[in-house]
Amino acid sequence: MTKEDILNKMRDILVEEFQLDASSITPQAKLYDDLELDSIDAVDLLVKMKEFIPGKIDPEMFKKAVTVQDVIELLYPLIQKA
């Protein structure tokens, strides 16, 4: 899975589960400011992403994620290990 694939999966989840506009979900979009997610939404997003990401996702490591790109960069190594 490429970083673009991760972005597309995130976009699909955010549109479907959170009714966000797909065009607003860019790598530079800030999770809390631009997409208006809260901490519970972020956990829900990670739970949904687990379906596509092999291995264990530690929610603690995502506390520093500010943008969609930050999440992609955190998930990508997990995919490479599998």
Q: Which domains does the chain have, with CATH numbers?
A: 3-81 (1.10.1200.10)
Mean pLDDT of 8-19: 95
Which two three-digit tokens encode residue 57?
């996702």
| Res 49: pLDDT | 87
Which two three-digit tokens encode residue 14?
């955010």
Mean pLDDT of 11-30: 96
| Res 78: pLDDT | 85
Q: Residues near 15 by Cβ (< 8 Å), separated by ≥ 6?
A: 21, 22, 25
Q: Side chain identity at 68, as an amino acid letter?
A: V
Residue 82: pLDDT band with limits 50, 70, 90: low
Task: Render pLDDT for 38-62 as a digit per residue (tens, 0 to 9).
Answer: 988 988 888 898 888 877 777 787 8
